[in-house]
Chain A
Amino acid sequence: DAGVIQSPRHEVTEMGQEVTLRCKPISGHDYLFWYRQTMMRGLELLIYFNNNVPIDDSGMPEDRFSAKMPNASFSTLKIQPSEPRDSAVYFCASSLGSYTEAFFGQGTRLTVV
């Protein structure tokens, strides 16, 4: 397996624009996590899914953020409208269980100008 695949690797967008980040988890993994990493706040869990169902979205900062998992092999994190303070590296991770090793993608570096 190629591991967790995220796209794009880098995204630069203007404030107010919609941004969509994509993730393909490892096949067979039941859990999918979206994290945001910044220097100030470290690695924060935004939302996680179990078997495509959102379980905990308490980490989603605002209603501008939304995440979907339409099937076991694809998830999106959308920010609409984007703001400069959303600039960060966004990671997707997947695991076999909530208690097991999380495999991370390479992340998407988002810059909102």
Chain B
Amino acid sequence: TQLLEQSPQFLSIQEGENLTVYCNSSSVFSSLQWYRQEPGEGPVLLVTVVTGGEVKKLKRLTFQFGDARKDSSLHITAAQPGDTGLYLCAGARSAGNQFYFGTGTSLTVIP
């Protein structure tokens, strides 16, 4: 049983479109991270959110941590082919604990 479920599992969109991917759990997390992984590489951290309701922006990417700290979303505006990759969320349940990774969303942006 996965602690963190991500949806959709696969997403293919045209360049310029907007999209949102979700990370959901029944557990409360003290912090949550989003990573992007490109083929043949390891995941790379995009952002960390720690406060319920927190919103962080990274250029065209907007990350939100749910008020109850059980879920998170990643919104991409005007997607570009360079956004293609596997997006992973990872949550930590308590201080000093390791991060549990979600199931991942594989995004393909078609030029």
Contact = CB atoms under 8 A, between A and B. Distances in A.
Q: Do A and B come from one complex?
A: yes
Interface of A: 4, 33, 35, 42-45, 48, 56, 91, 93, 98-99, 101-102, 104-107
Across the A-B interface, give the 6 residue pairs with the lowest CB-CB distance, nearest first: A104-B42, A43-B101, A101-B45, A42-B103, A104-B43, A91-B42
Contacts of B92: 98-99
A45 B98 contact: yes
A107 B43 CA distance: 10
A101 B48 contact: yes
A93 B88 CA distance: 15
B102 A42 contact: yes
Contacts of A93: 42
Given A42-B2, A43-B88, A106-B40, A98 B45 contact: no
Contact of B104 (A43, A99, A102): A43
Interface in B35-65: 40-45, 48
Interface of B: 2, 31, 33, 40-45, 48, 88, 92, 95-104
Contact of A105 (B31, B42, B45, B104): B42
A48 B33 CA distance: 18
Given A42-B104, A99-B92, A48 B98 contact: yes
Contacts of B42: 4, 91, 93, 104-107
Contacts of A44: 101
A16 B56 CA distance: 48
Given A45-B101, A102-B45, 20 more contacts: A33-B98, A42-B101, A42-B102, A42-B103, A43-B43, A43-B88, A44-B101, A45-B99, A45-B100, A93-B42, A98-B92, A98-B98, A99-B31, A99-B92, A99-B96, A101-B48, A102-B99, A104-B44, A106-B42, A107-B40
Contacts of A91: 42-43
B44 A98 contact: no
Nearest to A107: B42
B42 to A, nearest CB: 3
B19 to A, nearest CB: 20
